[in-house]
Amino acid sequence: MDSGLQSIGKMLLIFGAIFVVLGGVLLLAGRLPWSGRLPGDIVVQRKNFTFYFPFATSIVLSIIISLFFWLIGRR
């Protein structure tokens, strides 16, 4: 039973570290000039309405995150 608690504790620490890194990235994302303004991001502006869908940014982030997890999984 003790090893089960240790594995849960390790998993919680890993998820916590991932959330800290993601939070830091989100805080710094507004300061990056290319963040959210890639060609392929969809912006529709009307009088009282703005719709924004970061399509290209989502694809780039997905590739980066996939590479990160692929590198971690190689161990």
Q: Does the structure show a pLDDT above 60 at 1? A: no
Render pLDDT for 11-59 as a digit per residue (tens, 0 to 9): 899 889 988 988 887 787 767 676 667 888 888 899 999 998 888 888 9
Rounding to the nearest 10 degrees, give the CA dihedral for residues 50, 55, 60, 62: 110
Domain that holds residue 1: 1-31
pTM of the model: 0.54
Looking at the fold, whether 27 and 41 belong to one and the same domain comes out as no
Q: Does the structure show a pLDDT above 90 at 61? A: no
pLDDT-based confidence at residue 66 (cuts at 50, 70, 90): very high
- Burial (0-12, 13-18, 19+ Cβ within 10 Å), 10: exposed
Looking at the fold, whether 41 and 74 belong to one and the same domain comes out as yes
**How many domains in the chain?**
2
pLDDT at 46: 92
Looking at the fold, whether 11 and 22 belong to one and the same domain comes out as yes
pLDDT-based confidence at residue 75 (cuts at 50, 70, 90): low
Q: Contact, 28 vs 36, CB < 8 A?
A: no
Both tokens of 37, joined, read 């303004």
Q: Contact, 14 vs 2, CB < 8 A?
A: no
